[in-house]
Amino acid sequence: MLLQEAIDEFLLYLEIEKNYSKNTVAGYSFDLRTFEDFLLKHHRSLELNDIHKTLVRRFIQEQITKENMKPRTIHRKISCLKSFTKYCTRENLLMNDFMVGIETPKIDNKLPVYMTLQELQKLFRYLENDTGRFAIRNHLMFKLLATTGMRRSELVDITWEQLDLFNNTIRIHGKGKKERLLPLHPMIVPLIVDYKNSLPEYLLHPSQPVFINKNGDQLNPRGLHKIFKETLEKAGLL
């Protein structure tokens, strides 16, 4: 079987059987396609059973030296390949698991960084006085994150049908499609109303994502991180 076909089957397995979120599946897809691109660039066979450890080690070396990737990113890519080959071996798509013996680099387990109350108040003051094009959207996003504690991936996946303004709740789809119901802080509801009023009708369908980018497409975690960083800089917090 060709590597591309095996990747397609693996991603379908993650999406259908494991119920992984779209963003998680997209992450696996990106890492596996990166490995496939490496094989193509070096004119290597794309037959799954032709891949061996030496190629994987060369791939990792290239990622570190030429792409200047950090240990945490390399760790993720290796873990992705290990999950992939484990699946392929179990499904009899792969005769010999070429990831056996490939070790992941050690990474520092950094503690999460939290904002102080004063910093949070400074951020809120900036958001409340911002008059930029996406000020209303950003105001709502960051206060939702601050008051609910949801993950970035959960925030960008929110659709309008998950918001219940009658009961002031939001239904979150977490990892493994597990749902939880969170209360909306009283200050959030008017922000949602203002944001809805700023959008055209066709973007308010129940299945539409709440948070969109400048092109009208769903915002992704990477885009949210960029916005968050830029906002902190403008608020004088970086």
pLDDT at 10 over 90: yes
Q: Is the pTM of this model over 0.85?
A: no
Q: What percent of the chain has pLDDT over 90?
A: 55
pLDDT at 140 over 70: yes
Q: What is the mean pLDDT of residues 123-145?
A: 92
User: Which 8-state DSSP code applies to residue 43?
Assistant: T
Cβ partners under 8 Å of residue 56, min gap 6:
81, 98, 99, 102
Q: Assess if CATH 3.30.360.10 describes domain 117-234.
A: no
Mean pLDDT of the chain: 88
Q: What is the pLDDT of residue 132?
A: 87
